[in-house]
Amino acid sequence: MNKNALYITLLALLLSGCGRLNFNLGPLLRDVTVAPDQISPNADGDTDVTEIRYNLSRSAYVSIFFENDEGDRFYFRKDRRRSPGSYRVQWGGVMDEPEVEEFEGGTNEILSRVLADGQYNWVVQATDDNANTETVGGTITLENGDTELPRLEGFAVVPTVFRPNLDGMRDDWVSISYNLSKEVNNIQVFLIDPERPGVKVHIAEGANTIEPEEPGNHTYKYFGGVDLNAEPPPDGEYLVVGEANDLAGNRVRVTRALTIEMGGRPRADVVQGEIDWALETNRVVSVPLGQKLCFSAIVKNEGEVPIRTNGPWPGQEYLFAEDLSYQNYNYVAALRENRDKYWFEQPGVFRFGINFSTAGLNFPFRWAIGRQEDLEWLEFEEGAAWYLMPGEAGLVDGCIRFDGPPPGTNILWWGGLIHEAYGHHNDLIDRITVNVGAE
Ligand SMILES: [Ca+2]
Ligand SMILES: [Ca+2]
């Protein structure tokens, strides 16, 4: 090293030393106390917390942590930026370092927990902008702490692919169930979209003999709001989250993946609200006894989700007297050759129906809302069915043969779309009078 270099090095050392002296305006941390020095964090109202006080003379990054006999360190605060001033904060024996157990399809997390009973060294540490660090420490004893974590045991979301579209498949709703291991102060179950953290959909627990906060089995049934006439959350990847905390400060969270697809309310219409009644004149059809009332109509899927349907297929002919004597349209479904076709009334299935004013039951004659060539056969984990896809139209036609006269005269007849078990989607379409005369 030559003389100049040595000189510059000495100067640099001097300057850095001066710098420290110039900015080091007395102690950074003052009046640090932790009192009381013995607590019982069990939420019984008696010395559950201690108060940590300190005074900061300059802006600094502050950490507060606790160490046990083994030297394990538990942070209460870690590198928090603080302005000069007096601080006081309560500590209830809780550490906030999350422990996450990850597995396929979810996580189990401990967000915070009460530390085990015992003696701990506490440390308040501050580092100012010149990297001066000061620490003050002491000891505190924890006894009779409530260290039992609340657990959402067996937290299960079924199914994991959720298609909330009221088609009657098991994927129309999600069941969320778990066993709560201890009484908690608060429990929440909700849906979040990881890509839009602001979106949080709360899910309410169904009827139960115990309160949501009480230990025991809990079950939630979630239809995505479709059952309440709302649109479900948009299709996408979600997390079902269960979060619980007790009064002592133990807090846990579980998450499970949930995919929403084909979600939405089903909407179908008879195009133009018109049924093409055969042989209709001025809204009257006259049919001799033994002959048929025939029609055709076009049904369109006006919604965003596939609409489930099933036979009897267009072209099916009903016998008026014989089928009505069975008091429902299922006479055709009950025929030996049709028994394995699931043509009986089925929740979630749409059918086109014909009704008349003296029927005494709703829509005794029903057909699929399109021919198989108008539909798609979709297969899911829960089963397979025929669907009229969004934007598509189906042709329906059929006949009712009057093997006997209907009760009354000048009877009104009309068509409708039935969403079975969910009510009449579309009623009183294109009413006519049908007169059944002598043979
Ligand atoms: Ca206590
Ligand atoms: Ca569904």
Q: What's the 45 CA to ligand 1 centre distance in angstroms? A: 5
Half-sphere exposure of 72 (CA within 13 A, CB side): 9
pTM exceeding 0.75: yes
Structural domain count, the chain: 3
- Say if residue 27's pLDDT is above 80: yes
Segment 328-354 mean pLDDT: 82
Q: What's the 171 CA to ligand 2 centre distance in angstroms? A: 5
Task: For residues 131 and 169, state if they share a domain.
Answer: no
Task: For residues 157 and 125, state if they share a domain.
Answer: no
Task: For residues 170 and 196, state if they share a domain.
Answer: yes
Q: Which residues lie closer than 8 Å to 280 by C-beta, 6 or more apart?
A: 432
Task: For residues 293 and 375, state if they share a domain.
Answer: yes
Task: For residues 347 and 383, state if they share a domain.
Answer: yes
Task: For residues 59 and 176, state if they share a domain.
Answer: no
Looking at residue 22, its pLDDT comes to 44
Instruction: For residue 247, give the CATH number of its domain.
Output: 2.60.40.2550
Task: For residues 56 and 169, state if they share a domain.
Answer: no
Q: Which of 162, 76, 160 is nearest to 115 (CA)?
A: 76
- Say if residue 15's pLDDT is above 60: no
Q: What's the 299 CA to ligand 2 centre distance in angstroms? A: 20
Task: For residues 288 and 388, state if they share a domain.
Answer: yes
Q: Which two tokens stand for residue 85?
A: 């001033």
**What is the pLDDT confidence band of residue 7, given thresholds at 50, 70 and 90?**
low
Task: For residues 231 and 330, state if they share a domain.
Answer: no
What sign results for the dihedral spanned by CA atoms 412, 417, 420, 422? Answer: negative
Q: Which residues lie closer than 8 Å to 239 by C-beta, 6 or more apart?
A: 106, 191, 192, 193, 194, 255, 256, 257, 258
Highest mean pLDDT among 123-137, 194-208, 359-373: 123-137
Ligand nearest to the CA of 173: 2
Please write the tens of the pLDDT for every residue from 262-312. 999 999 999 999 999 999 999 999 999 999 999 999 999 999 999 999 999
Instruction: For residue 59, give the CATH number of its domain.
Output: 2.60.40.3880
Ligand nearest to the CA of 226: 2
Q: ∠ CA(69), CA(72), CA(77), 5° rounding?
A: 120
Q: What's the 385 CA to ligand 2 centre distance in angstroms? A: 11
**What is the pLDDT confidence band of residue 208, given thresholds at 50, 70 and 90?**
confident
Task: For residues 135 and 156, state if they share a domain.
Answer: no
* The domain boundary residue, chosen from 260, 287, 310: 260
Q: What's the 154 CA to ligand 2 centre distance in angstroms? A: 25
Looking at residue 19, its pLDDT comes to 42
Q: What's the 401 CA to ligand 2 centre distance in angstroms? A: 36
Ligand nearest to the CA of 163: 2
Query: What is the layout of strands, in order, in the sheet containing 133-142?
Result: 38-39, 133-142, 118-128, 60-67, 73-82
Q: What's the 389 CA to ligand 2 centre distance in angstroms? A: 14
Owning domain of residue 59: 25-94+115-142
Segment 365-377 mean pLDDT: 97
Task: For residues 60 and 170, state if they share a domain.
Answer: no
Quote the mean pLDDT of the chain: 90
- Say if residue 18's pLDDT is above 70: no
Task: For residues 171 and 30, state if they share a domain.
Answer: no
Looking at residue 361, its pLDDT comes to 79
- Say if residue 169's pLDDT is above 90: yes
Q: What's the 164 CA to ligand 2 centre distance in angstroms? A: 5
Ligand nearest to the CA of 264: 2
Looking at residue 426, its pLDDT comes to 86
- Say if residue 438's pLDDT is above 70: no
